[in-house]
Structure 1
Amino acid sequence: MGVQFIPLKYVPNSLLWQGDDLVSWTGGGRRWEPDGTQREAEFYWSFPFDAVRASASGAYIAVYQERGTKGAVLEGKRVVRELNRSFSHATSFDYPLALGRLGDGREVVVHCPEEYNLLQIEDAGSGERLTAGEREPVDVFHSRLSLSPDGRHLLSIGWAWQPFGTAQVFDTALALSDPATLDGEGVLPGSMVMGGEVAAGCWLDADRLVLATGSEEWYEPEEEPDALATRHLGVWSVSERRWLHRSAVPDAEPGVLLLPRGDQVVTLHGHPRLLDVVTGRVLAQWPDVAVTAKSLCYGNKNNPTPVAALHPDGSRLAVVQAEGIAVITLP
């Protein structure tokens, strides 16, 4: 479980793996080889963009302002198109944006281009809107979007007034035929996620997702015993519509970022931890690798999301530090 440190004069504000190289597509553009050798990236975007998403296929990259309104979709060196989101509270919650591939093979962008609560699915290359139609969205601020590996479902880790962090899951295949299904509760019952405030979530596979809650409570346990309680890690099956596992994680705030690794997740809050999703047990942690302690996707304090990237094979975790990049070899 060694840690390699790559010292840098200018640290990146975004990070992706390309093969065994690390690449920053924003903030000046750099590429680092496994031995730490730095090279200029072939193409990059600078200010005002400070965050990046990549499609699973690698065909498209999106750069954007995490707490702003602007973004752009890139295909190689080509700018495919610009992105925009509503200015409403844009400086107070993270940009809702996902790239991925639907079950029929189409590469898509999922975002909220007009209203904070109005999800749209668009063809990544052409910009064709696939969910056009009459819409009446509920009053939820969508944020931190992610598509399941098969593209069949969409996860939103967002929030609603008072405020309180929550999660929703939508069927993308159904949304293509009936866009209004993106406006309701979705396929994850709201009562299941209104015990503790949802801080983070990610897909483990095409059927299972994992959610993590913080210390704020909505329902008390006796009011809704099936809800995910405070300071818990829960694994939900979309097909079975139930919690497969719910485990207390009393000693580890989840932060906003969960990265999946088989039946484990990497969580980043203060420092990286590796958690077992079945038991919630901390399998390993690296207290000497400091990361931002960001608890929720919303808040007036603009606390940037930790900049980290998990290698596609799950073997290494790269985490941006104050003076460089720590590359952790995971157990």
Structure 2
Amino acid sequence: MNDGVVLRETRVRTGEVRSLVWDGDDLLDPVGGWRRWSPDGTEHRCERRKFGRPYDRAVTSPSGRWTVVYGERGTDGLLLDGRRVVRELPRDEYHAEDFDHPVGLGALSDGREVLVHCPEAYNRLQIEDVATGERLAVAPDEPELSPFHSRLTISPGGRWLMSAGWVWHPAGICRVYDLDRALADPSVLDGQGLLTYWPLIDAETDSACWLDGDRLALAAGDIGGEPEEDGSVDEERELGQHQLGVWSCSTAKWLYRNELPGPIGTILGCGEAVLALYGHPRLFDIRTGDLLAQWPELSLPRRQGAYGVTHTPSPVAALHPDGSRVALAVKGGIAVIRVG
């Protein structure tokens, strides 16, 4: 294990940072008025006014052209083309204060950049061409299933859509939808998807992230994973409590499942590792579950899952597109750590 000495950390003292996205090798804080930092830590302030509403998160499209700023537990968001406001993005108000805003930007397999969100109902996904606003796929008006969609991300290459949300128990779940099929038949967005809470996952999903265009990493939390009534546990199929699993969408099977020391919170895919952001950054090998490095001096929120009546904000983090480093908002500024 490495304690963070070889995997270098860089810090910038700059006060509170509301959001982080990469622009080449520069870092931007869209919510904070488009503040910019160059790789040497120099801050370049922007004179543009800040947004009037209490936004605290931002996501960008793969090209960097489109940005959505929004409140993690709010009902409002804005779609931006560069710095220009294009339109408001509403969110269904039902339990909005209890779970993370379902919104994501990505690109389809044909290169079109899309917006995925739930403007009309918490359980009704909508996919739009972000440039034109055209609705490409909308789940049925009266969905048969009622997941609370959250943390929406599209896989590299544009084949799969992931929702890391929750259902009434309450319990965190992960759903993965085939985007090619959904564009031809939107009812696919009302299905169970490729992964089911049971029997493939027998514990609550705290978080999930894409490793590449096929593989998905999932971190299971505190709830679930108990033996069946007869005392059996189907270890060949199930992801259990406090495990890190890697699922292949193309082969529909677990590639790796390994025990974790406890909850690891939000995870970011870093090649053959995931960076866990629970309490402080820790880097885990996806193949073995081994702890590769940690940075205990960087304090982060102890946040699990996408829901919770008592809200602990998610860590503000941005993975560089080349996967080599992660920027984190920490007390008094920004830390950038090398992960690859």
TM interval, short-chain normalised: over 0.9
Q: Does 1:184 align with 2:191?
A: yes
* Alignment correspondent of 1:311: 320
Structure 1 residues 131, 45: CA separation in 2 closer, same or farther (over 3 Å shift)?
Answer: farther
**Per-residue deviation, 1:329:** 2.8
* Alignment correspondent of 2:76: 70
**Per-residue deviation, 1:190:** 3.4
- CA deviation digits over 1:151-199, x for unaligned, max 9? 1110110101110001100011111111111011012233245311100
5 Å matches for 1:116-127?
A: 116-127=122-133
Q: Does 1:237 align with 2:256?
A: no
Q: Does 1:212 align with 2:219?
A: yes
* Alignment correspondent of 2:263: 253
Equivalent in 283, 306, 313 of residue 297 of structure 1: 306
Structure 1 Cα separation of the partners of residues 225 and 73 of structure 2: 26
Q: Does 1:16 align with 2:25?
A: no
TM-score normalised to the size of structure 2? 0.92
* Alignment correspondent of 2:3: none
Q: Percent identity?
A: 47
Structure 1 residues 6, 220: CA separation in 2 closer, same or farther (over 3 Å shift)?
Answer: same
Letter in 1 for 2:98: S
Structure 1 residues 147, 70: CA separation in 2 closer, same or farther (over 3 Å shift)?
Answer: same
Residue 271 of structure 1 aligns to a residue whose secondary structure is coil
Structure 2 Cα separation of the partners of residues 133 and 281 of structure 1: 40
Residue 5 of structure 1 aligns to a residue whose secondary structure is strand
**Per-residue deviation, 1:223:** 4.8
Unaligned runs of 5+ in 2: 1-6
Letter in 2 for 1:254: I
Structure 1 residues 136, 19: CA separation in 2 closer, same or farther (over 3 Å shift)?
Answer: same
Q: Does 1:203 align with 2:210?
A: yes
* Alignment correspondent of 1:168: 175
- CA deviation digits over 1:248-281, x for unaligned, max 9? 11x24221x2111111111100000111111111
Structure 2 Cα separation of the partners of residues 14 and 216 of structure 1: 30
Q: Does 1:280 align with 2:289?
A: yes
Q: Does 1:227 align with 2:238?
A: yes
Structure 1 residues 286, 205: CA separation in 2 closer, same or farther (over 3 Å shift)?
Answer: same
Q: Which moved more, 1:160-169 or 1:52-61?
A: 52-61
Letter in 1 for 2:169: Q
Q: Report if the CA contact (8 A) 1:121-1:129 is conserved.
A: yes
Q: Does 1:268 align with 2:273?
A: no
- CA deviation digits over 1:33-80, x for unaligned, max 9? 122111124757433211001111212111111101111111112222
Letter in 1 for 2:263: E
Letter in 2 for 1:306: P
Residue 173 of structure 2 aligns to a residue whose secondary structure is strand
* Alignment correspondent of 2:39: 34
Letter in 2 for 1:314: G
Runs of 4+ aligned residues of structure 1 deviating over 4 Å after TM superposition are: 42-45
Q: Does 1:147 align with 2:157?
A: no
Structure 2 Cα separation of the partners of residues 285 and 44 of structure 1: 37
- Over the aligned positions, Cα root-mean-square deviation in angstroms equals 1.7
Q: Report if the CA contact (8 A) 1:80-1:125 is conserved.
A: no
Unaligned runs of 5+ in 1: none
Letter in 2 for 1:233: L
Residue 190 of structure 1 aligns to a residue whose secondary structure is coil
Q: Report if the CA contact (8 A) 1:26-1:44 is conserved.
A: no
**Per-residue deviation, 1:316:** 2.1
- CA deviation digits over 1:200-241, x for unaligned, max 9? 101111111010011111553625431100000001011111
Structure 1 residues 181, 37: CA separation in 2 closer, same or farther (over 3 Å shift)?
Answer: same
Residue 269 of structure 1 aligns to a residue whose secondary structure is coil
Structure 1 residues 317, 280: CA separation in 2 closer, same or farther (over 3 Å shift)?
Answer: same
Q: Report if the CA contact (8 A) 1:43-1:77 is conserved.
A: no
Q: Which moved more, 1:216-225 or 1:17-26?
A: 216-225
Residue 186 of structure 1 aligns to a residue whose secondary structure is coil
Letter in 2 for 1:320: A
Structure 1 Cα separation of the partners of residues 330 and 316 of structure 2: 8
Structure 2 Cα separation of the partners of residues 284 and 126 of structure 1: 44
Count of residue pairs the alignment pairs up: 328
